[in-house]
Amino acid sequence: MHKKICILNGSPRINGNTKELIKYFTKGAETVGHEVTCFDLQKMNIHGCLGCCNGGKNEDFPCVQKDDMSQIYPVYKTADIIVLASPMYYWGITGQLKCAFDRLFAIAELNPNYENPQKECILLMASEGNTSDNFAPVKAFYEGLISHLGWKNLGIVYAGGNMNIGDILNKPEQLKQAEDLGKSIQ
């Protein structure tokens, strides 16, 4: 079955290791017939959530702030799968990704009970560290997030040992893992 996939790329490096994971994941997903849309958040003008709880009044423009989130909202609403892609920054996702994800609350505000749309989710993460202890804080955040949202985890790629731009190109097994995850979506 054809699925729509929305990738939120939180990497500030336009052609960094996270972007390579995205390229290989996308290749795998498109190979089996899925539609992939990727947003490079670093290039976008996205303001932080105001916490005003005044969104959800307009289906087409759910947030009171008018910025580049207006490009993401329609894709997010129709997506079956959300991919959170980020390098590890201080044992978490980047500010760019957190900022955009916080703003998705405006979609929940469209529902009188603030229910988030049901999605499946994937995490792609590049990092310098390469141990389970290194990834533990991100794992806890991701699992907590999708649990509270009621989303289903379809998989995680932790690509450790990648500090400098291009390091991941010397680790074909990590790129293959991302591609295989894309191919595995049913």
Q: What is the pLDDT of residues 54-70, one digit of tens each?
A: 988 888 889 999 999 99
Q: How many of the other CB atoms lie within 10 Å of CB of 69?
A: 24
The residue type of 74 is: P
- Angle among Cα 72, 103, 110 to the nearest 5 degrees reads 85
Is residue 139 in a domain?
yes
Tell me the two tokens of residue 125.
Answer: 């993460």
Q: Tell me the CA distances in angstroms from 78 to 9, 73, 86, 109, one per residue in order.
A: 18, 9, 22, 16
Is residue 185 in a domain?
no
Domain that holds residue 87: 4-180
Count of structural domains, the chain: 1
Positions of E strands within 32-74: 35-40
- Burial category of 113 from C-beta neighbours within 10 Å (exposed 0-12, middle 13-18, buried 19 and up): exposed
pLDDT in tens, 30-89: 999 999 999 999 999 999 999 999 988 888 889 999 999 999 999 999 999 999 999 999
pLDDT value at residue 56:
85
H or E segment to which residue 178 belongs? helix 172-184
Query: What is the rounded distance in angstroms from the CA atom of residue 171 to the CA atom of residue 70?
Result: 36
Is residue 67 in a domain?
yes
* Cα dihedral 87, 139, 98, 88 in deg (nearest 10): -20
The whole-number average pLDDT for the span 169-184 is: 97
The whole-number average pLDDT for the span 159-180 is: 96
Q: What is the mean pLDDT of the chain?
A: 96
The whole-number average pLDDT for the span 21-26 is: 98
Is residue 186 in a domain?
no
- Burial category of 100 from C-beta neighbours within 10 Å (exposed 0-12, middle 13-18, buried 19 and up): buried
Residue 152 in this model has a pLDDT that exceeds 90: yes
Is residue 44 in a domain?
yes
Tell me the CATH number at 109. 3.40.50.360
Is residue 45 in a domain?
yes
Query: What is the rounded distance in angstroms from the CA atom of residue 6 to the CA atom of residue 4?
Result: 7
